Amino acid sequence: MMSALYLTVLDSLIFVSFAATFQSATTASLTHLGGGFLGAAALNACTHAVLPVVFKRLYYKDTGREDLNKRYNRFHEMINTLVQMIFFVYFEVVIFRSNSWLWWSDTTTAWTSDPVPSNLRMFYGVNLGTWLTAAVTCRFYEERNKDWLLMYTHHTASIILVAGSYAIGQERFGIMVLFLHHISDIVLNCCQATHYLGWDAESFPFGIPVAEVLFVCNICCWAYTRLYIFPFTIVRSVTFEIAGIEGEKYARMLSVFLYLLQGMHIWWFSEMIRVVVKILTPGVSAKEAASVYLTEREEEAAKKKKTKEDKKKM
């Protein structure tokens, strides 16, 4: 009952965010939003046509067909996200370089009522379209594993922040938040893609621990971007530097979702540390350690699906 009520609240927040964006958007902005939807769909179609062959050639695990299909589906998801993140980071760097990274060196310069650059407004529209696509996919198509609700909450908070900052004209600060997430997501998705390919020390040729090395890189990148820069640059600025800006009341309301994201960053980091602890535990294999967070999600989802099917048969 509580879970259903919570989902209703999240769905309502997404709808309100989209409505607020639609109300303040121009025809060009709506075109950019549609571009985000179509771009995500086109990318999914292209990768689905190419990746099966690539996956079979690069796959190093000796597993059954059912496990192979599960790993491919997750690998496909990781590559889709990875391509999107690389695309986004490239354009974010272009936008930051256009003003010599001024917003990062002096965050107060991001809180301005000056006209928003057209390329930043376009980038925002595409981003929002992509986030809405991810939220719909998560809500209606993904298996509901143990962190599904947390992930859907993350999508909801992200949509509210993107739509909200767009509505009040604070895209300059918003792109800083997006950049930190996108840059760390590149490392995260590389790490998870190699896991689903079986590129670990147990399976990869010559025992090269590709997945393990990327996992360490992911922990370091996550800690630096989401546990250091995010709270001490982004959260600090939105807490102490927005007094007197245009739309201050709405900016402070949006800051609640920044704090929520920070809490989720800490939770996911603790999950990564659990994997490290497992790896360092004597007698525990890399596969068992990875199952703490990655593989066990698929196993749990499969069990729930099987239980539902059994109930229907009864």
Alpha-carbon gap, residue 190 to 42, rounded angstroms: 21
Give the pLDDT score at 185. Answer: 95
| Residue 310 belongs to some domain of the structure | no
Over residues 252-280, mean pLDDT? 91
| Residue 312 belongs to some domain of the structure | no
Give the pLDDT score at 112. Answer: 84
Domain span at residue 24 reads 2-303
| Residue 162 belongs to some domain of the structure | yes
Q: What percent of the chain has pLDDT over 70?
A: 73
What is the total count of domains within the chain? 1
| Residue 298 belongs to some domain of the structure | yes
Over residues 261-289, mean pLDDT? 82
Alpha-carbon gap, residue 188 to 180, rounded angstroms: 12
The pTM for the full model equals: 0.83
pLDDT digits (tens, 9 = 90+) for 86-137: 989 999 999 999 888 888 999 999 998 788 888 888 888 888 878 888 888 8
| Residue 313 belongs to some domain of the structure | no
| Residue 314 belongs to some domain of the structure | no
Structural contact between residues 186 and 89, judged by C-beta atoms closer than 8 angstroms: yes
**pLDDT(239) > 80:** yes
| Residue 258 belongs to some domain of the structure | yes
Q: Which of 119-133, 149-163, 288-302 has the highest mean pLDDT?
A: 149-163
Q: What percent of the chain has pLDDT over 90?
A: 26
| Residue 309 belongs to some domain of the structure | no
**Which of 249, 260, 185 minimizes the C-alpha distance to 13?**
260
Alpha-carbon gap, residue 137 to 152, rounded angstroms: 10
Of the listed ranges 6-10, 76-80, 205-209, 221-225, the one predicted with least confidence: 6-10
Q: Which two tokens stand for residue 135?
A: 């939220």
Structural contact between residues 229 and 180, judged by C-beta atoms closer than 8 angstroms: yes
Helices (H), the chain: 2-24, 27-58, 65-97, 102-105, 118-140, 148-167, 171-197, 210-224, 236-240, 248-280, 286-290, 296-313
pLDDT digits (tens, 9 = 90+) for 4-42: 676 677 667 666 665 655 555 555 555 655 555 566 566
